[in-house]
Amino acid sequence: MTDTARAFVPGHVTAFFSAHPHADPERAGSRGGGLALSEGVTVRVEPGDGVELDAQPIDVASVETVLDALGAEARVVCQTDLPLGSGFGASGAMALGTALAVNDAFDCGRSENELVTLAHRAEVKAGTGLGDVVAQARGGVPLRLDPGAPAHGRMDGVPARTRVEYLTLGGLSTEAVLSGDTAQLSAAGERALERVRETPTLTEFMAAAREFAERAGLLTEDVRDVIADVEAAGGAASMAMLGETVFALGTGLTDAGYDAAVCRLYPPGASLVSVDPETHR
């Protein structure tokens, strides 16, 4: 027991999904696919109270739910370079990072699946995400074959490594989209997942993502223009679900003349970060 601990949780852009509400938040969730990113959220916990993001106090419902579930009185200090509210799963990352770090710092004795489940439930209850947490726990190019927490949701992945670029034009409210009619979106999401399960390559993944973005009816004019520019320059791009963000593989956005943020696919999932270089504790 060290009473402080740190965790890193990768950002996650969902490329396509279908929504699967359920009365039990552990079984609610989404099916779909996304990219886990080397940019993410670092969460440090220590005795105290209050939640901070990049040195500003912040209220995050899912983080509070996790703290309550673990019975922890902790100060939660989060840092990220990701844009917020733009489809990178920042709230899921904060919830999962809090679960991992609190469990370690305060000896809560939960397993990895239990911690992922806590964070997934908290996200679903807060209405801020349906599939980011389980995707962030796995890393890489996670495919969510079933909705829900680890006990219910089987996963697979597209084996890949690549540079990823992104450009954020604005925000979209996950809550607003998910509380609307999701039938058309979900049908498109099921179709996209089927495509990628059939041919689990990054090329097919991007084609399925692009088709989904078109069919789901969520493309804004600005996002559509940027994607078209990337494609005109020979690249592959699509829209982060849900944010006004375009992501592209390799140098897709740069080649199209945009000043994009650069990161890479992050195969490891979320995990504790060593604090002590000697003992790696």
Residue from 156, 211, 231, 255 in contact with a second copy (CB under 8 A):
156
Which residues, 6 or more positions from 228, have their beta carbon under 8 angstroms from its beta carbon?
A: none
Q: Which is nearer to a second copy, 102 or 216 (CB)?
A: 102
Smallest distance from a second copy to CB 101, Å: 10
Q: Which is nearer to a second copy, 134 or 265 (CB)?
A: 265
Residue from 110, 131, 132, 225 in contact with a second copy (CB under 8 A):
110
Instruction: Give yes or no for residue 84 binding a second copy (CB under 8 A).
Output: no
Residue from 150, 153, 189, 235 in contact with a second copy (CB under 8 A):
150
Query: Cβ(15)–Cβ(30) under 8 Å?
Result: no
Q: Which is nearer to a second copy, 115 or 237 (CB)?
A: 115
ω into residue 185 within 30 of 0, thus cis?
Answer: no
Candidates 16-24, 71-79, 185-193, 194-202; binding stretch for a second copy (CB under 8 A): 194-202
Instruction: Give yes or no for residue 250 binding a second copy (CB under 8 A).
Output: yes
ω into residue 242 within 30 of 0, thus cis?
Answer: yes
Single out the residue of 87, 144, 68 nearest to residue 95, CA to CA.
68
Q: Which amino acid, one-letter code, is at 170? A: G
- CA 219, CA 239: separation in Å to the nearest integer? 7
3-state secondary structure at position 155: strand
Instruction: Give yes or no for residue 233 binding a second copy (CB under 8 A).
Output: no
Smallest distance from a second copy to CB 156, Å: 4
Which residues, 6 or more positions from 60, have their beta carbon under 8 angstroms from its beta carbon?
A: 51, 53, 91, 94, 95
Smallest distance from a second copy to CB 218, Å: 27
Instruction: Give yes or no for residue 160 binding a second copy (CB under 8 A).
Output: yes
Single out the residue of 132, 146, 93, 138 nearest to residue 113, CA to CA.
138
Q: Which amino acid, one-letter code, is at 16? A: F
3-state secondary structure at position 91: helix
Q: What residues are paired with 5 via a beta bridge?
A: 45
Instruction: Give yes or no for residue 273 binding a second copy (CB under 8 A).
Output: yes
Instruction: Give yes or no for residue 161 binding a second copy (CB under 8 A).
Output: yes
Instruction: Give yes or no for residue 201 binding a second copy (CB under 8 A).
Output: yes
Largest Cα–Cα distance of the chain, in whole Å? 55
Candidates 74-82, 100-108, 214-222, 226-234; binding stretch for a second copy (CB under 8 A): 100-108
Which H or E element spans position 64? helix 61-70
Residue from 27, 75, 191, 197 in contact with a second copy (CB under 8 A):
197
Residues making contact with a second copy (CB under 8 A) = 100, 103-104, 107, 109-115, 139-140, 143, 150, 156-163, 197, 199-201, 250-251, 264-265, 267-269, 271-274, 278-281
